[in-house]
Amino acid sequence: MQKERVVIIGSGPAGLSAAIYTARALLNPVVLTGVQLGGQISLTSEVENYPGLFNPEATPTGPDMVELMRRQAEHFGARLVYEEVTEVDFRHGPPFTVKTHGQTFSADAVIVTAGASPKHLEVPGETEYVGRGVSYCGTCDGFFFRGKDVAVVGGGDSALEESIFLTKFADKVTIVHRRDELRAGPTLQKRAFANEKIGFVWDSVIDAIEGNGVVQNVKLRNLKTGAAGDMTVDGVFIFIGHYPNSKFLVDELAMDEHGYVITDEFMRTNVAGVYAAGEIQDPHYRQIATSVGQGVAAAMQLERWLAAKE
């Protein structure tokens, strides 16, 4: 068992920000990155709304931000371990136990920044065609749809951001939304409506995804009229929200009915010495900037808590 002062679970904006602050406080944090270094922003094509990074000639990408934050964290002494947490024991600490597939860590304090994952439609054909036309990341897979027609499911910021990105490759992008108006911000809506490659199917859902080895068609249903129909597409990109990655925390931390970790205004959980930040505890804002602030707040409170104990 490795004895550590601070273990940070997750490597998104909240986790890497917490790593920078705890490292600069000489706490030598270990960051357990999970399956994706950088979390969801590593899958984001362009970041236009993060303060201080604006460059109209070369808009920074999510991977750009992740690389900068990683280098900054490691510069100050954070250590990144590229493993996923499988189990924790917070009820009998401190010290707290954090296990990965290959290692066990004992920590005086922990910051949980495990983030969230995309929701699925849970319709016939969705699972079958993942990687063969069904995707949850336009940035990752858009290149494979050059000259093709794709559907995007959702009406929020992510759906429109990814739709706009996909127009770099696809001939046509059709946004399927279950309502008659979008939830995305005004700027994104304006860009989407102005893009001649983007079309809309309103008040509708996808009931099934069909194909023959690869996606070829979706079954549509209008929620107001009940009318059903088919739409020929080569790909389906799904952006209908997220769920917190909190299964490994069941019975360890207090959570709400949706599985989000409950924290107070100081990012404290119900267990003294365990903090949470980012989308694991934030179903409302879900922005890079807010996750960074929450990670910083958690790190500062943790440092003060350890100092008070000593």
Check 64, 89, 141, 207 and give the catalytic one: 141
Q: Which residues of 251-286 are buried (b: 16+ CB within 10 A; e: fewer)?
A: ebbebeeebbbebeeebbbebebbbbbbbbbbbeeb
Check 64, 89, 108, 140 and give the catalytic one: 140
Rounded distance between C-alpha atoms, residue 284 and residue 212, angstroms: 39
Rounded distance between C-alpha atoms, residue 32 and residue 77, angstroms: 14
Task: Give, in degrees to the nearest 5, the angle at Cα 159 between 57 and 133.
Answer: 105
Indicate the residue type of 229: G
Annotated catalytic, 140?
A: yes
Rounded distance between C-alpha atoms, residue 143 and residue 237, angstroms: 13
Q: Which of 44, 86, 40, 26 is nearest to 242 (CA)?
A: 40
Rounded distance between C-alpha atoms, residue 195 and residue 22, angstroms: 44
Annotated catalytic, 64?
A: no
Annotated catalytic, 157?
A: no
Active site residues: 137, 140-141
